[in-house]
Structures are given as structure tokens and as C-alpha cells.
Structure 1
């Protein structure tokens, strides 16, 4: 992807911060590390973007989250969720899930033996306040349209199909080779993007699969796919009030 912008673009490679539990593996990407000399691994309300892998027939047993918003984005395959409230939910390319953990939410995740291998993103957002009322959202999402942004979550007052309790919007897009699109922006906010699949360039900078960019003070930013690519992007208010006591996404 090529990039034209009045702002500053900061690139980060795929993190080397990972955990390998055999059939369950994660890489943690920290948007704050894109910015030189930034003293926070997160960037405002966006704490971390976790690339998660689950083999078929994998169980992550019941555990609790507190004081974080956990979003499950599944571009292919299925992730099966059970929780302490009796919900049995399947997150897949047609559905997305947000756990607003608040004061505490228990859940487990699994794949069945005949499910395909799963690669997904689990996104951790810092809420604006501690010990909020716990909730879970599991909703159908709009059909994707190639070369257009799809708005999937936003603050509670937004028009997105799901919401988080802070100032972050989330979008995805599938770009065909050679297509151009503007990065989503909000006035006075910054934009973080992550290349889930494909190899792209931004300006003179090459971005491979799993690399990310943080656009600070930018506007009217056009991106062009050099190969077929799957991209996610976040618009973030870097000055939003945040809490930092999440179970994982601190």
C-alpha cells in the first residue's frame, strides 16, 4: 500500500512477545510501541491487539477477565464461547463478540475436532472507568464489500453494530491488488492499522503481513494495495481517560 499524508507514520514489525501453549498460541502487538520514546505499551484506550491461534480440538478453560473490553474478530473459521451466564456463542466471519468485562466476567473458548485451524484477533480496549457493569455483545455484522471499510465497533454512542466503553472505532477491509482507499480518521484522533494478510507499502516503507503503522496528526491518507490484503484499522482518541487494571490488556 502506498501512503500520502500530512501526518507522521510510525512502523512496527510483528512483536516478539508471544506465548506458546501448544494448541493455543498468541502474539501480542502493542500499538504504543510504534511511537518512539512512548512510555506506554498501549496507545490511549487501545491496549493491545493479540494475534491468536487455536488448533482444532482446543479448550481454553473457564477464566475471568476484569476491567477490559475484549473484542473477538474472526475473519475465517469459528471460535466457540461458553460463559458463566449460560451463553453458548459461535463467533465467525458473520458475527463478532465484545466482552465488556467490567467488574468481572467468566468465560471459556474452544474449537471442536472438526473445526478448521483458527487465526483471529483479540483486541483489548481500556475502559474509561473501573468496575463497570459486565456485559456481553454477540451480533451479526454487515456483509463485507471489497475495497470499502466496514465499521464494526465504536464508542457507545456510535452507529457501529457493537460498542466499547471508550473512544476507539474499529474497521476492516479486504483490498484487491492495486486498489486505493483512505484510512479512516477522526478529527484530533490518530489511526493505527495492522496488516492481517498481504504485503503492502506505505510511502517508501514496506509492510509485511503482521506489521503495523500508527498515523499521528494525519488526514486524507490514501492507501494502495500492492497485493491482495486484509487490513484492520482503529481510530483512537489518544487523550481519552483510561484505566489500566485489565486482566490482560493493562
Structure 2
């Protein structure tokens, strides 16, 4: 007797529209994307160690004065334009398309952000990761990142000890990709981990669904899922260990 063909199992994929959770401070505007809210009856706005992905806008000539973060890892990803940083450790840093900034706030880190009057309008992502333990040593990383290769995922940060250029102190990997219209790639995945995808620009078909500008999807297994750009797109993706130990005492990314 022949074996019956096995049924094709579709990946578990939840999509979310553009967030309605925002703050408008005039020259500084932010939109909070909470990956956990994509999953029905999920009791956490974050998803494991990934607390929130914040879309931030700064007009030219904007200063966000010196302030403190504690017990969170804050990553600034700037695909275009510049974000100027200074802190109480004496660092004066410029984050742009060629650099990534990670503040490992730990027990406390003070910093300020600024755009100058002749800088271009800034739109960036600020990513908040929950560390595995409270009151770790504070520090900052500001490093050049590998050149982008169109239509390929670029690994930008990961847990300590990985081959990513920068690290965070929990089980999250971060990738970006510029995907040309009509091109297909596979969503980053890792055995036993889940993946969160955010469309910074453009539109894509992902699995059985579609995502547009600032929409997102959470894949709650480690399936290989095709992503096809229906227009030129800029994408970011996070692979996440949903069972990693986390803290919930961050200044913003609780």
C-alpha cells in the first residue's frame, strides 16, 4: 500500500497594519511598532526580547536634550540622512547609512540626539531590545557596517559572540535588505526562533499575504518563507528566541 502524500503545512504568519500608536512633539515624531500585538491574545506588547521598533522623524535643527536610559539596548538604524549623538562619556558620533549605533544602557546611560539646520530631514528606526539581566555594565558601540549588496540580507547585530558587527545582550539578530521590484528572497530564519519583518519602504508579498509601507508580519515558527518585492523596497527583519530570559525594566522599551 502506497503512503498517502503528506499535507503541506502553511507557516504561522500574523500581519499588522501601520501602527496608530504615536507621539507628536512637533519637530520630533515617533510611531511605536509592538511586534507582540500582531498575535491574537498575546499578553505582551513586545515579543520575547524584542520590545518595540520605533519609527522616528527628526526635522532639520532638532535637539533631543540629554536624557537617561536604563536596562535596555537601543539601536539606531539610519538608512539615509544623519543622526548626531553625544553623551556624558564624551562621545560625539554621527550615525548614517554607513554606521550603526548600539547603546547598551545597562545600569544607566545618558545621551542626546540632534540634527543640524542644514542636515536633511531624518527618518530612522530606533530598536529597543530587552536585556537578559538587570543593571548590566553600560556601554556604547558605533561601528561601520558592511557595504549593502542589493537583494541580499545584511546581518547588522546579534547576540554577543556572533559574527555580526555589533551585539546586544539578548537573543535577537537584526538584518536589512534593499529588494528590487520583482525580486524574491527568503525571510531570515533560525532553528527554533521566530521572525519579525517590517517594511520601511515599498511593498512585498510574503508567504500567502502582502505588506505595504510600514506594515509588518510576525512568523511564529522557523519556516522558510519567500519575500517578493512588488515595488522597490527597504526591509528589516529580526530573528528572535521567544523563550529567551528577559527583563522588563527598560526606560522606554519595557
The equivalent residue for 1:81 is 85
Residue 46 to residue 239, structure 1, CA distance change in 2 (3 Å): same
The equivalent residue for 2:128 is 124
What is the distance in 1 between the residues matched to 2:50 and 2:220? Answer: 14
2:12 to 5, 8, 30: 8
What is the distance in 2 between the residues matched to 1:225 and 1:17? Answer: 27
Higher relative contact order (CA 8 A, sep 6+): 1
The equivalent residue for 2:111 is 107
What is the distance in 2 between the residues matched to 1:85 and 1:6? Answer: 50
1:177 to 178, 181, 184: 181
In the alignment, is residue 42 of structure 1 matched against residue 62 of structure 2? no
Structure 2: 5+ residue stretches without partners: 1-7
What is the distance in 1 between the residues matched to 2:29 and 2:58? Answer: 7
1:142 to 143, 146, 158: 146
1:198 aligned counterpart, secondary structure: strand
Contact 1:127-1:242 at 8 Å conserved across structures = yes
Name whichever of 204-213 and 169-178 sits farther off: 204-213
What is the TM-score with the length of structure 2 in the denominator?
Answer: 0.95
In the alignment, is residue 223 of structure 1 matched against residue 224 of structure 2? no
Name whichever of 219-228 and 87-96 sits farther off: 219-228
2:201 to 189, 197, 210: 197
What is the distance in 1 between the residues matched to 2:75 and 2:158? Answer: 11
Contact 1:176-1:225 at 8 Å conserved across structures = yes
1:225 aligned counterpart, secondary structure: strand
Q: Following TM superposition, by how much is the alpha carbon of 1:204 offset from its aligned partner in structure 2, in angstroms?
A: 4.1
Runs of 4+ in structure 1 deviating by more than 6 angstroms, as ranges, are none
- Pairs within 5 Å for 1:62-77: 62-77=66-81
The equivalent residue for 1:211 is 215
- Pairs within 5 Å for 1:50-65: 50-65=54-69
What is the distance in 1 between the residues matched to 2:179 and 2:86? Answer: 33
What is the TM-score with the length of structure 1 in the denominator?
Answer: 0.97
Contact 2:206-2:226 at 8 Å conserved across structures = no
Q: Following TM superposition, by how much is the alpha carbon of 1:14 offset from its aligned partner in structure 2, in angstroms?
A: 1.2
